[in-house]
Amino acid sequence: MSRPKGAPLLGPVGFLFAAVGFTMAVIVARLFVAVEARCTQSCPVIRVQGFHIHHLYYGVLLLLASSTIMVFATDVRTRWDTALVFGAGLGLIADEVGLLILRVPYWALISLVTLAAIGLALYLATLYKVWTVGRGDFGLLNRYQTLSIFAVVLAMLGFLYFGRPLRAMFADAALVAWVSASLLLLTFGRKHIQEIRRTPLNPLPPSP
């Protein structure tokens, strides 16, 4: 079953979540790569028969999975959740476009400009949606979804724990982020999922 006819795929909240997911994915990826350059055997860089699995490929998987769910989701809150994952996947892909597609150094200016352009486009799309359809969607957010999204963001930061060698304070902070994310998801995330299953939400735009 797909979303009702006339229901938008993403409103301003969805675009904002996508922008946040994109931003956090790029920040975490860039920090991880910066730390990885100083790593020895302690960094979990995945290789298959000597082939380095770049995080661009993880981004492709996230993008495909989230976009599929987003298209067929019957609840707007589910589409907002998957928009965050979509943005994260897009961020992981865009982060290595310069290196793998344009064949320029990872820290080259054109690579950074590409990231900035995509991120800016997502935030501008959010503002455009607010301007065209209003801020009504933000009134549908509750603390369960907001804290669930915050938990996912914390979980993304927690991946920096694997980027060793880190100073103990940074490793501890990443570990705290993961523990906090787990607690938030077990409490507010569980309640958020229960609400989606119990009371589907799909506001339609006002008739002209």
Distances (CA, A) of 112 to 17, 99, 121, 129: 21, 11, 14, 26
Residue 51's pLDDT is 41
For residues 165-185, give the mean pLDDT. 75
Cis check: omega of the bond before 165, within 30 degrees of 0 = yes
- Whole-number pLDDT of residue 192: 86
CB 62 within 8 A of CB 85: yes
Residues 61-106 pLDDT 10s? 999 999 999 888 888 889 999 999 999 999 999 999 988 888 999 9
Contact 99, 2 (CB under 8 A): no
CA distances from 65 to 21, 86, 92, 162, 191 (A): 15, 8, 14, 25, 23
Residues 153 and 189 sit within 8 Å (Cβ to Cβ): no
**Poorest-pLDDT segment among 107-116, 122-131, 172-181:** 172-181
> What digits encode the pLDDT tens for the residues 17-34?
999 999 999 998 888 887
Of 36-50, 133-147, 150-164, 173-187, minimum mean pLDDT range: 36-50
| Three-state secondary structure call for residue 182 | helix
Supply the pTM of this predicted model: 0.83
Contact 66, 78 (CB under 8 A): no
What percentage of residues in the chain have a pLDDT greater than 90?
A: 35
Q: Where are the domains of the chain?
A: 12-198
